[in-house]
């Protein structure tokens, strides 16, 4: 689940840097959330009575509130419509807590989620680095606790990362996060305010790579971080693996040589009741998974964030080119 504007600095945080999975920058919504928004999930994993899911009922497809999620949500909706399902779009719901609550409470039927987000933000389990292990963990726990099913994950990994311009990285001899930590006193790092406090932000990096002191940390709107980087106002930015700007600006993603960040593969998370009522739904959406690589998502994201195209148009064009819809 979030087009990107790259103008001046604005102090703003994205409610889910990793909670959105590793996500791309929030963008103008193609579809507004329903009035009033989803209700919060009851504490302790208890669920409200979900809406019934009868075969033939509209499938309510949702997304979180950033560019990549808009594209993925449209892809899911278009695939289902092509297969004969009636779809109700509920894109741009908000961050992970909002989308998860809506799914658990039966207000939506499915949305794209990231395995690392499910592991850390929803289940609040320790970090794991093996992609298959993370997927199996979240799939089992979601089924047991929420009666939700993870469909097939895509190979793309929208994990958190640190990026630099290749010129600046070469000047300083930096290719890994270990290199960055060793030269931290010379570096300005820009990222969301919460990155200074999250266990998977600066505290986690310092724990994994050794304590260090940056020249400066700049709290910055994620939509502006790449402009700050290419304009030389910062040396390093917090990034995500499928951000379109990585390829568009030919940036260097620093190697996470100590395996700090968990994998963030994306997959549809669906209410089991809906899958039971619609036996062909899983196969319809699973056909998309192997097509979504890092390079593909970087390109598609930049079509929206960089070229200002509509997410639905980008999604439709890609699905037709891949022979997944007519």
> Closest Cα to residue 320, out of 312, 3, 85?
312
Kindly state whether residues 153 and 164 are assigned to the same domain.
Answer: no
Distance, CA of 325 to CA of 49 (rounded, Å)? 34
Instruction: Please tell me the total number of residues recorded for the chain in this structure.
Output: 326
Q: Clarify whether residues 152 and 286 are in a common domain.
A: yes
> Are 92 and 78 members of one domain?
yes
Point out the domain boundary residue: 207, 231, 253: 253
Distance separating alpha carbons of residues 105 and 4, to the nearest angstrom: 31
Alpha carbon distance 247, 232 (integer Å):
18
**Phi, psi of 154, rounded to the nearest 5 degrees:** -80, 155
What is the span of the domain harbouring residue 87?
43-157+265-321
Residue 167 lies in a domain: yes
Task: Say yes or no: 68 and 107 in one domain.
Answer: yes
On whether the CB atoms of residues 28 and 66 are closer than 8 A, the answer is no
Q: What is the CATH number of the domain that holds 94?
A: 3.40.190.10
Angle at 12 between CA 6 and CA 16, to 5 degrees: 100
300 part of a folded domain? yes
Same domain, yes or no: 225 and 272: no
Per-residue pLDDT of the chain (326 residues; tens, 9 = 90+): 333 333 333 333 333 333 444 444 444 455 433 333 333 333 334 334 444 444 578 999 999 998 999 999 999 999 999 999 999 999 999 989 999 999 999 999 999 999 999 998 899 998 888 999 999 999 999 999 999 999 999 999 999 899 999 999 999 999 999 999 999 999 999 998 888 887 778 998 999 999 999 999 999 887 789 999 999 999 999 999 999 999 999 999 999 999 888 899 999 999 999 999 999 999 999 999 999 999 999 999 999 999 999 999 999 999 999 999 99
């Amino acid at each position: 689940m979030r087009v990107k504007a790259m103008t001046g600095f604005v102090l703003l945080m994205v409610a889910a840097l990793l909670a959105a999975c590793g996500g791309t920058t929030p963008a103008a919504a193609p579809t507004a959330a329903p009035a009033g928004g989803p209700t919060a999930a009851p504490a302790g994993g208890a669920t409200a009575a979900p809406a019934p899911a009868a075969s033939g009922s509209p499938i309510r497809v949702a997304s979180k509130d950033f560019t990549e999620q808009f594209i993925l949500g449209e892809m899911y909706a278009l695939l289902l419509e092509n297969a004969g399902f009636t779809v109700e779009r509920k894109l741009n719901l908000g961050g992970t807590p909002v989308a998860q609550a809506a799914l658990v409470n039966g207000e939506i039927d499915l949305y794209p989620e990231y395995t690392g987000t499910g592991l850390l933000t929803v289940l609040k389990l320790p970090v794991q680095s093996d992609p298959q292990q993370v997927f199996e963990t979240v799939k089992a726990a979601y089924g047991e606790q929420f009666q939700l099913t993870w469909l097939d994950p895509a190979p793309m990994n929208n994990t958190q990362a640190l990026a630099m311009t290749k010129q600046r990285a070469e000047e300083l001899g930096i290719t890994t996060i270990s290199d960055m930590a060793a030269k931290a006193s010379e570096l300005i790092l820009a990222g969301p305010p919460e990155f200074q406090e999250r266990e998977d932000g600066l505290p986690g990096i310092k724990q994994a790579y050794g304590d260090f002191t940056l020249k400066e940390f700049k709290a910055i709107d994620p939509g502006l971080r790449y402009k700050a980087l290419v304009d030389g106002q910062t040396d390093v930015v917090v990034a995500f693996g499928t951000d379109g700007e990585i390829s568009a600006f030919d940036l260097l993603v620093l190697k996470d040589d100590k395996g700090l960040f968990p994998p963030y593969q994306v997959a549809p998370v669906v209410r089991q009741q809906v899958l039971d009522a619609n036996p062909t739904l899983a196969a319809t959406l699973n056909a998309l998974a192997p097509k979504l690589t890092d390079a593909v998502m970087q390109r598609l994201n930049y079509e929206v964030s960089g070229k200002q195209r509509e997410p639905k148009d980008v999604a439709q064009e890609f699905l037709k080119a891949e022979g997944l819809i007519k």
